Structure 1
Amino acid sequence: MSALLDRDRMLARAREAASAVVDPELPMLTLADLGVLRDVTVDDDGAVVAAITPTYSGCPAMAAMRDDLVRELRAAGFADARVRVVLEPAWTTDWITPAGRAALAAAGISPPGPAPQRSGPVLLRLTPARRAVRCPLCGSDDVTVGSEFGSTACKALYRCRACLEPFEHVKEI
Protein backbone atom coordinates (compact mmCIF):
# COMPACT_ATOMS: atom_id res chain seq x y z
CA MET A 1 0.00 0.00 0.00
CA SER A 2 2.84 2.39 0.84
CA ALA A 3 4.50 1.82 -2.56
CA LEU A 4 1.20 2.58 -4.30
CA LEU A 5 0.77 5.77 -2.27
CA ASP A 6 4.35 6.81 -3.08
CA ARG A 7 3.72 6.17 -6.78
CA ASP A 8 0.50 8.24 -6.64
CA ARG A 9 2.37 11.12 -4.97
CA MET A 10 5.17 10.84 -7.52
CA LEU A 11 2.66 10.94 -10.38
CA ALA A 12 0.88 13.96 -8.88
CA ARG A 13 4.21 15.82 -8.54
CA ALA A 14 5.17 14.92 -12.11
CA ARG A 15 1.82 16.09 -13.47
CA GLU A 16 2.09 19.34 -11.52
CA ALA A 17 5.61 19.98 -12.87
CA ALA A 18 4.65 19.16 -16.48
CA SER A 19 1.48 21.25 -16.25
CA ALA A 20 3.53 24.33 -15.36
CA VAL A 21 5.53 24.31 -18.63
CA VAL A 22 4.58 27.23 -20.90
CA ASP A 23 4.24 27.19 -24.66
CA PRO A 24 7.33 28.71 -26.33
CA GLU A 25 5.25 30.63 -28.88
CA LEU A 26 2.34 31.60 -26.62
CA PRO A 27 4.01 32.04 -23.21
CA MET A 28 0.77 33.14 -21.55
CA LEU A 29 -0.41 29.52 -21.94
CA THR A 30 0.82 26.37 -20.29
CA LEU A 31 1.04 23.27 -22.44
CA ALA A 32 -1.85 21.92 -20.37
CA ASP A 33 -4.04 24.98 -21.11
CA LEU A 34 -3.10 24.75 -24.79
CA GLY A 35 -4.24 21.12 -24.77
CA VAL A 36 -0.87 19.91 -26.08
CA LEU A 37 0.04 18.07 -22.86
CA ARG A 38 -1.97 14.89 -23.22
CA ASP A 39 -0.83 12.74 -20.32
CA VAL A 40 1.86 12.18 -17.71
CA THR A 41 2.61 8.65 -16.55
CA VAL A 42 5.20 6.77 -14.53
CA ASP A 43 6.61 3.64 -16.21
CA ASP A 44 7.27 0.44 -14.30
CA ASP A 45 10.98 1.36 -14.27
CA GLY A 46 10.18 4.70 -12.57
CA ALA A 47 10.64 6.92 -15.64
CA VAL A 48 8.27 9.85 -15.98
CA VAL A 49 6.79 10.08 -19.47
CA ALA A 50 4.95 13.18 -20.68
CA ALA A 51 2.83 12.72 -23.81
CA ILE A 52 2.35 15.73 -26.09
CA THR A 53 0.54 16.32 -29.38
CA PRO A 54 1.77 18.91 -31.91
CA THR A 55 -0.64 21.67 -32.84
CA TYR A 56 0.06 20.87 -36.48
CA SER A 57 2.35 18.66 -38.52
CA GLY A 58 5.86 20.07 -38.55
CA CYS A 59 5.29 22.49 -35.65
CA PRO A 60 8.74 24.01 -35.01
CA ALA A 61 7.99 24.50 -31.31
CA MET A 62 7.88 20.74 -30.58
CA ALA A 63 11.61 20.49 -29.84
CA ALA A 64 11.40 23.42 -27.42
CA MET A 65 8.31 21.91 -25.75
CA ARG A 66 10.10 18.57 -25.34
CA ASP A 67 13.26 20.19 -23.95
CA ASP A 68 11.26 22.41 -21.57
CA LEU A 69 9.24 19.44 -20.28
CA VAL A 70 12.35 17.35 -19.65
CA ARG A 71 14.10 20.28 -17.95
CA GLU A 72 11.10 21.01 -15.70
CA LEU A 73 10.60 17.37 -14.75
CA ARG A 74 14.29 16.95 -13.94
CA ALA A 75 14.22 20.14 -11.86
CA ALA A 76 11.29 18.62 -9.95
CA GLY A 77 13.50 15.66 -9.04
CA PHE A 78 12.73 13.18 -11.81
CA ALA A 79 16.10 12.09 -13.17
CA ASP A 80 14.57 9.87 -15.87
CA ALA A 81 12.13 12.11 -17.75
CA ARG A 82 10.99 11.36 -21.28
CA VAL A 83 8.59 12.87 -23.80
CA ARG A 84 6.43 10.84 -26.15
CA VAL A 85 4.75 12.42 -29.18
CA VAL A 86 1.14 11.35 -29.75
CA LEU A 87 -0.27 12.05 -33.20
CA GLU A 88 -3.74 10.54 -32.84
CA PRO A 89 -6.17 12.03 -32.39
CA ALA A 90 -4.85 15.17 -34.03
CA TRP A 91 -4.79 18.30 -31.87
CA THR A 92 -7.62 20.78 -32.27
CA THR A 93 -8.13 24.29 -30.95
CA ASP A 94 -11.16 22.90 -29.12
CA TRP A 95 -8.63 21.43 -26.65
CA ILE A 96 -7.63 24.89 -25.41
CA THR A 97 -9.08 25.21 -21.91
CA PRO A 98 -11.38 28.06 -20.83
CA ALA A 99 -8.49 29.39 -18.70
CA GLY A 100 -6.25 29.25 -21.79
CA ARG A 101 -8.80 31.15 -23.88
CA ALA A 102 -9.08 33.79 -21.16
CA ALA A 103 -5.27 34.09 -20.99
CA LEU A 104 -5.08 34.61 -24.76
CA ALA A 105 -7.72 37.36 -24.64
CA ALA A 106 -6.01 39.02 -21.65
CA ALA A 107 -2.78 39.07 -23.68
CA GLY A 108 -4.56 40.79 -26.59
CA ILE A 109 -4.82 37.67 -28.77
CA SER A 110 -8.23 36.67 -30.06
CA PRO A 111 -8.94 33.07 -29.00
CA PRO A 112 -10.22 30.63 -31.61
CA GLY A 113 -13.86 29.83 -32.11
CA PRO A 114 -15.09 26.26 -32.47
CA ALA A 115 -12.87 24.11 -34.69
CA PRO A 116 -14.34 23.07 -38.03
CA GLN A 117 -15.89 19.61 -37.99
CA ARG A 118 -14.56 17.41 -40.76
CA SER A 119 -15.20 13.95 -42.08
CA GLY A 120 -13.16 12.75 -45.00
CA PRO A 121 -10.49 14.69 -46.85
CA VAL A 122 -9.66 18.31 -46.01
CA LEU A 123 -10.62 20.55 -48.91
CA LEU A 124 -8.04 22.97 -50.28
CA ARG A 125 -9.17 26.59 -50.07
CA LEU A 126 -7.56 29.34 -52.10
CA THR A 127 -9.33 32.15 -50.28
CA PRO A 128 -9.00 33.26 -46.64
CA ALA A 129 -11.12 31.31 -44.19
CA ARG A 130 -14.18 33.06 -42.82
CA ARG A 131 -14.02 33.23 -39.05
CA ALA A 132 -16.16 34.72 -36.32
CA VAL A 133 -13.51 36.99 -34.78
CA ARG A 134 -13.92 39.57 -32.02
CA CYS A 135 -11.39 42.20 -31.07
CA PRO A 136 -9.83 41.10 -27.77
CA LEU A 137 -9.35 44.76 -26.80
CA CYS A 138 -12.83 46.27 -27.30
CA GLY A 139 -15.00 43.23 -28.10
CA SER A 140 -16.17 44.49 -31.50
CA ASP A 141 -16.82 42.00 -34.29
CA ASP A 142 -16.21 44.71 -36.91
CA VAL A 143 -12.78 43.43 -37.87
CA THR A 144 -10.81 42.93 -41.06
CA VAL A 145 -8.12 40.40 -41.85
CA GLY A 146 -4.72 41.92 -42.53
CA SER A 147 -2.87 38.70 -43.23
CA GLU A 148 -3.58 34.99 -42.91
CA PHE A 149 -0.04 34.67 -41.54
CA GLY A 150 0.94 36.08 -38.15
CA SER A 151 4.03 35.71 -36.02
CA THR A 152 3.45 31.95 -36.04
CA ALA A 153 1.70 29.70 -38.56
CA CYS A 154 -1.21 29.16 -36.17
CA LYS A 155 -2.15 32.86 -35.97
CA ALA A 156 -3.64 35.38 -38.42
CA LEU A 157 -3.39 39.18 -38.22
CA TYR A 158 -6.55 41.29 -37.90
CA ARG A 159 -7.41 44.94 -37.37
CA CYS A 160 -10.41 46.20 -35.47
CA ARG A 161 -12.43 48.83 -37.32
CA ALA A 162 -13.98 50.08 -34.07
CA CYS A 163 -10.87 50.77 -31.98
CA LEU A 164 -8.42 50.66 -34.92
CA GLU A 165 -6.02 48.34 -33.08
CA PRO A 166 -4.27 45.43 -34.76
CA PHE A 167 -4.36 42.03 -33.06
CA GLU A 168 -3.59 38.38 -33.65
CA HIS A 169 -6.17 35.60 -33.81
CA VAL A 170 -5.45 31.93 -33.13
CA LYS A 171 -6.71 30.05 -36.18
CA GLU A 172 -9.30 27.34 -35.68
CA ILE A 173 -7.84 23.93 -36.43
Structure 2
Amino acid sequence: MVTATALEAELLELAGSVPDPELPVLTLQELGVVRAVHVHGGDAVEVDLTPTYTGCPAIEAMSVDIERVLRAHGMREVTVRTVLTPAWTTDDISTEGRRKLQEFGIAPPRVREASGPVALALGPTRTEHEPPARTKATSPTAPIASTAPTDPIRCPHCGSADTELLSRFSSTACKALRRCLACREPFDHFKEL
Protein backbone atom coordinates (compact mmCIF):
# COMPACT_ATOMS: atom_id res chain seq x y z
CA MET A 1 0.00 0.00 0.00
CA VAL A 2 1.41 3.37 -1.05
CA THR A 3 1.11 6.21 1.46
CA ALA A 4 -0.31 9.46 0.13
CA THR A 5 1.87 12.54 0.22
CA ALA A 6 0.77 15.68 2.05
CA LEU A 7 -0.12 17.28 -1.31
CA GLU A 8 -2.16 14.23 -2.35
CA ALA A 9 -4.01 14.29 0.99
CA GLU A 10 -4.75 17.99 0.53
CA LEU A 11 -5.98 17.48 -3.03
CA LEU A 12 -8.08 14.49 -1.96
CA GLU A 13 -9.75 16.72 0.63
CA LEU A 14 -10.39 19.39 -2.03
CA ALA A 15 -11.78 16.88 -4.56
CA GLY A 16 -13.92 15.36 -1.81
CA SER A 17 -15.36 18.76 -0.89
CA VAL A 18 -17.18 19.02 -4.25
CA PRO A 19 -20.97 18.78 -3.77
CA ASP A 20 -22.71 15.82 -5.40
CA PRO A 21 -24.66 17.14 -8.43
CA GLU A 22 -27.76 15.05 -7.66
CA LEU A 23 -27.63 15.37 -3.86
CA PRO A 24 -25.97 18.76 -3.26
CA VAL A 25 -26.44 18.36 0.50
CA LEU A 26 -23.61 15.76 0.34
CA THR A 27 -20.01 16.18 -0.70
CA LEU A 28 -18.32 13.56 -2.85
CA GLN A 29 -16.24 12.60 0.21
CA GLU A 30 -19.39 12.04 2.32
CA LEU A 31 -20.90 10.02 -0.53
CA GLY A 32 -17.69 7.97 -0.63
CA VAL A 33 -17.04 8.15 -4.38
CA VAL A 34 -13.64 9.91 -4.46
CA ARG A 35 -11.21 7.04 -3.87
CA ALA A 36 -7.69 8.41 -4.37
CA VAL A 37 -5.55 11.22 -5.75
CA HIS A 38 -2.16 10.65 -7.41
CA VAL A 39 0.16 13.60 -8.10
CA HIS A 40 2.60 13.34 -11.02
CA GLY A 41 5.40 15.87 -11.42
CA GLY A 42 4.03 18.42 -8.97
CA ASP A 43 1.32 19.99 -11.16
CA ALA A 44 -0.47 17.02 -12.74
CA VAL A 45 -3.01 14.99 -10.79
CA GLU A 46 -5.10 11.90 -11.41
CA VAL A 47 -8.27 11.38 -9.36
CA ASP A 48 -9.91 7.97 -8.92
CA LEU A 49 -13.70 8.34 -8.89
CA THR A 50 -16.13 5.46 -8.42
CA PRO A 51 -19.72 6.00 -9.60
CA THR A 52 -22.59 4.95 -7.37
CA TYR A 53 -23.60 2.63 -10.21
CA THR A 54 -22.27 1.85 -13.67
CA GLY A 55 -23.68 4.37 -16.12
CA CYS A 56 -24.42 7.01 -13.47
CA PRO A 57 -25.22 10.19 -15.45
CA ALA A 58 -23.75 12.40 -12.71
CA ILE A 59 -20.21 11.08 -13.18
CA GLU A 60 -19.50 13.63 -15.92
CA ALA A 61 -20.66 16.56 -13.79
CA MET A 62 -18.63 15.24 -10.83
CA SER A 63 -15.53 15.01 -13.02
CA VAL A 64 -15.93 18.55 -14.37
CA ASP A 65 -16.43 19.96 -10.87
CA ILE A 66 -13.38 18.10 -9.51
CA GLU A 67 -11.26 19.36 -12.43
CA ARG A 68 -12.41 22.95 -11.81
CA VAL A 69 -11.59 22.82 -8.08
CA LEU A 70 -8.15 21.25 -8.55
CA ARG A 71 -7.17 23.60 -11.41
CA ALA A 72 -8.14 26.54 -9.20
CA HIS A 73 -5.72 25.08 -6.64
CA GLY A 74 -2.85 25.26 -9.14
CA MET A 75 -2.95 21.86 -10.82
CA ARG A 76 -2.09 22.34 -14.50
CA GLU A 77 -3.33 18.94 -15.63
CA VAL A 78 -6.25 17.12 -13.99
CA THR A 79 -7.44 13.68 -15.07
CA VAL A 80 -10.47 12.11 -13.45
CA ARG A 81 -10.44 8.36 -13.92
CA THR A 82 -13.57 6.25 -13.45
CA VAL A 83 -12.70 3.25 -11.27
CA LEU A 84 -15.25 0.45 -11.05
CA THR A 85 -13.48 -1.84 -8.57
CA PRO A 86 -14.00 -2.06 -5.77
CA ALA A 87 -17.61 -1.21 -6.54
CA TRP A 88 -19.27 1.55 -4.55
CA THR A 89 -21.90 0.50 -2.00
CA THR A 90 -24.07 2.50 0.33
CA ASP A 91 -21.71 1.34 3.09
CA ASP A 92 -19.30 3.96 1.66
CA ILE A 93 -21.58 6.83 2.73
CA SER A 94 -20.06 8.44 5.81
CA THR A 95 -21.90 8.84 9.12
CA GLU A 96 -21.99 12.59 8.43
CA GLY A 97 -23.44 11.92 4.98
CA ARG A 98 -26.19 9.74 6.45
CA ARG A 99 -26.99 12.45 8.99
CA LYS A 100 -27.19 15.08 6.24
CA LEU A 101 -29.49 12.89 4.12
CA GLN A 102 -31.79 12.48 7.12
CA GLU A 103 -31.85 16.24 7.78
CA PHE A 104 -32.49 16.90 4.08
CA GLY A 105 -35.60 14.69 4.21
CA ILE A 106 -34.16 11.59 2.53
CA ALA A 107 -34.20 8.33 4.47
CA PRO A 108 -30.58 7.17 4.49
CA PRO A 109 -29.71 3.63 3.44
CA ARG A 110 -29.85 1.12 6.25
CA VAL A 111 -26.50 0.11 7.72
CA ARG A 112 -25.32 -3.45 7.31
CA GLU A 113 -23.27 -5.08 10.05
CA ALA A 114 -20.97 -7.07 7.81
CA SER A 115 -19.16 -5.63 4.84
CA GLY A 116 -18.24 -7.61 1.79
CA PRO A 117 -20.15 -8.92 -1.19
CA VAL A 118 -23.76 -7.83 -1.40
CA ALA A 119 -26.25 -10.63 -1.97
CA LEU A 120 -28.31 -10.12 -5.09
CA ALA A 121 -31.56 -11.96 -5.72
CA LEU A 122 -32.65 -12.03 -9.34
CA GLY A 123 -36.28 -12.41 -10.21
CA PRO A 124 -38.80 -11.48 -12.86
CA THR A 125 -38.66 -7.91 -14.12
CA ARG A 126 -42.38 -7.50 -13.48
CA THR A 127 -44.31 -9.14 -10.72
CA GLU A 128 -47.97 -9.94 -10.80
CA HIS A 129 -48.36 -9.60 -7.04
CA GLU A 130 -46.03 -7.19 -5.29
CA PRO A 131 -44.92 -8.14 -1.77
CA PRO A 132 -46.32 -5.94 0.99
CA ALA A 133 -44.59 -2.58 0.67
CA ARG A 134 -45.55 -1.33 4.11
CA THR A 135 -43.04 -1.69 6.91
CA LYS A 136 -43.66 -1.44 10.62
CA ALA A 137 -41.12 -1.34 13.46
CA THR A 138 -41.56 -2.86 16.87
CA SER A 139 -40.43 0.35 18.58
CA PRO A 140 -41.16 3.88 17.36
CA THR A 141 -38.05 5.10 19.19
CA ALA A 142 -35.59 2.71 17.45
CA PRO A 143 -32.61 4.49 15.83
CA ILE A 144 -32.81 5.63 12.21
CA ALA A 145 -29.62 3.78 11.19
CA SER A 146 -30.46 0.13 11.63
CA THR A 147 -28.16 -2.84 11.72
CA ALA A 148 -29.76 -4.99 9.02
CA PRO A 149 -31.27 -4.24 5.61
CA THR A 150 -34.47 -6.03 6.68
CA ASP A 151 -35.21 -3.40 9.32
CA PRO A 152 -38.00 -0.95 8.49
CA ILE A 153 -37.41 2.25 6.60
CA ARG A 154 -38.14 5.19 8.86
CA CYS A 155 -39.67 8.48 7.85
CA PRO A 156 -37.00 11.21 7.87
CA HIS A 157 -39.65 13.76 8.91
CA CYS A 158 -41.25 12.16 11.98
CA GLY A 159 -39.21 8.97 12.56
CA SER A 160 -42.14 6.60 12.15
CA ALA A 161 -41.45 3.14 10.73
CA ASP A 162 -45.00 2.92 9.41
CA THR A 163 -44.12 3.65 5.78
CA GLU A 164 -45.11 2.32 2.38
CA LEU A 165 -43.40 2.02 -0.99
CA LEU A 166 -44.94 4.21 -3.69
CA SER A 167 -42.36 3.64 -6.44
CA ARG A 168 -39.14 1.63 -6.68
CA PHE A 169 -37.55 4.62 -8.41
CA SER A 170 -37.67 8.27 -7.46
CA SER A 171 -35.82 11.39 -8.61
CA THR A 172 -32.73 9.26 -9.28
CA ALA A 173 -32.29 5.53 -9.89
CA CYS A 174 -30.57 5.08 -6.50
CA LYS A 175 -33.63 6.27 -4.57
CA ALA A 176 -37.13 4.88 -4.02
CA LEU A 177 -40.24 6.96 -3.32
CA ARG A 178 -42.02 6.17 -0.06
CA ARG A 179 -44.80 7.71 2.05
CA CYS A 180 -45.12 7.86 5.81
CA LEU A 181 -48.47 6.58 7.01
CA ALA A 182 -48.14 8.49 10.29
CA CYS A 183 -47.42 12.04 9.07
CA ARG A 184 -48.55 11.33 5.45
CA GLU A 185 -45.44 12.98 3.98
CA PRO A 186 -43.78 11.47 0.90
CA PHE A 187 -40.00 11.00 1.03
CA ASP A 188 -37.11 9.53 -0.87
CA HIS A 189 -35.23 6.51 0.49
CA PHE A 190 -31.63 6.07 -0.62
CA LYS A 191 -31.68 2.36 -1.52
CA GLU A 192 -29.09 -0.01 -0.11
CA LEU A 193 -26.60 -1.22 -2.70
Which TM-score applies when normalising by structure 1?
0.87
Q: Aligned equivalents of 1:123 and 1:14: distance in 2?
A: 40
Among 35, 40, 43, the residue aligned to 2:37: 40
Cα distance in 1 between the residues matched to 2:123 and 2:118 = 13
For 1:127-172, what per-residue CA distance to the aligned partner results, in whole angstroms no more than 9, with x for missing partners? Answer: 5687531000111000011111100000110110111111000011
2:170 corresponds in structure 1 to 150
Which residue of structure 1 aligns with residue 118 of structure 2? Answer: 118
SS at structure 2 position matched to 1:94: helix
CA distance in 2, matches of 1:11, 1:149: 37
Letter in 2 for 1:118: V
The yes-or-no answer on 1:74 pairing with 2:94 is: no
The residue number in structure 1 matching 2:58 is 61
Three-state SS of the structure 1 residue aligned to 2:70 is: helix
Per the alignment, residue 3 of structure 1 pairs with none
1:11 to partner: Cα distance: 2.2
Identity %: 49
Query: Counterpart in 1 of 2:103?
Result: 106
User: Any idea what SS the aligned residue of 1:141 has?
Assistant: coil
- Of 28, 34, 51 in structure 1, the residue corresponding to residue 48 of structure 2 is 51
Give 1:85 shift.
1.0
- The aligned length equals 166
Q: Which amino acid aligns with 2:10?
A: R
Q: Aligned equivalents of 1:13 and 1:152: distance in 2?
A: 31
> How far is 1:76 from its partner?
1.5
Return the alpha-carbon distance in structure 1 between the equivalents of residues 123 and 97 of structure 2.
29
Find the residue that maps to 1:81 and give its secondary structure: strand
| Alpha-carbon offset, residue 57 of structure 1 | 1.2
The farther-off stretch of 128-137 and 59-68 is 128-137
Kindly provide the amino acid, as one letter, of the partner of residue 170 in structure 1. Answer: F
Tell me how far 1:98 sits from its aligned partner: 0.1
Q: Determine the C-alpha separation between the residues in 1 that align with 2:94 and 2:163.
A: 25
| Deviation of the 1:44 alpha carbon | 4.3
Which moved further from structure 2: 155-164 or 38-47? 38-47
Quote the Cα distance in structure 2 between the aligned partners of 1:76 and 1:45: 12
| Cα distance in structure 1, aligned partners of 2:94 and 2:183 | 28
Q: Distance in 2 between matches of 1:82 and 1:93?
A: 25
Rounded Cα–Cα distance in structure 1 between residues aligned with 2:49 and 2:5: 21
Which residue pairs with 1:20 in the alignment? 17
Q: CA deviation at 1:9?
A: 4.1
Residue by residue, what CA displacement relative to the aligned partner does 1:82-118 show, whole Å, maximum 9, x if unpaired?
1111111111001000000001001000000136953
Q: CA RMSD in A?
A: 2.2
